[in-house]
Amino acid sequence: MSKKFKFVMVGVSLAATLALTCFYKFGRSIWVPLYLDLKGRRTLDDVVRNIGPVVEPGLQAAFAKAGVAYPPQHITLLAFKEEKRLELWAEQDGAQVLVSAYPIQAASGVAGPKLREGDRQVPEGFYRIEGFNPNSSFHLSMKLNYPNPFDLEHARAEGRTSPGGDIFIHGKASSVGCLAMGDPAVEDLFILANRVGASNIDVIIAPQDFRLRTLAPPQNAPAWLPGLYQDIQQALRPFAVSDVKSS
């Protein structure tokens, strides 16, 4: 076997390996549904029944340590894009208590709201969970109600007909416009959200932690963005920054 032939075969092997790796990572929307069709799709009850007993002891311990009853009546998820941090807060006796904080494994884009489909931006503002996907290409996912009425109102006013959609909190560690939390964290959040109920969950997404410092809106930002940032800063006040520093 000639050296040239060996060199070609090594190159082909490396190219094939790279292609398969890229397809595994970026082609999940193609191969995961096919895999699930072969294996059998999970129901929401399947996930709660199989994963719940694994993660709930840890959730119960975290809530007990924070002095909050489990499952709580209401939770708030605070996501900070710059800090790559998602905080889980629960209401207890009228006060907000920090229960856990999770690193955001991936979130594409920069500071600033999502304005249109394909801009790779994570939205900023006030959101709700409107759906659960036990068969997500990213392990498990929870769909946010982006675009919400605020987003739609400003899109219409500015003539933006495609503000985008399909924004999720999901597993794995890659994302385009979503919050990728990794599989262990999304299992916690998914099971907890089902125990609490989607209607009892608030999600606030901010470009950075406004409790620590303020942020001037990006250049060429929409005229309404400073007002949104002020609303987010005001909404964060019940979530004591001293609790965050000591966590």
Residue 225 to residue 213: CA distance in whole angstroms:
17
Cβ pair 86, 181 in contact under 8 A = yes
pTM for this model (two decimals): 0.82
Give me the tens of pLDDT residue by residue for the chain, a chain 247 residues long.
566 655 556 556 565 555 444 444 444 445 445 444 445 688 999 999 999 999 999 999 999 999 999 999 999 999 999 999 999 999 998 899 999 999 999 999 999 999 999 999 999 999 999 999 999 999 999 999 999 999 999 999 999 999 999 999 999 998 889 999 999 999 999 999 999 999 999 999 999 999 998 878 778 889 999 999 999 999 999 998 766 654 4
The answer to whether the peptide bond before residue 71 is cis (omega within 30 degrees of 0) is yes
Residue 240 to residue 177: CA distance in whole angstroms:
28
- The residue type found at 11 is G
- The residue type found at 17 is T
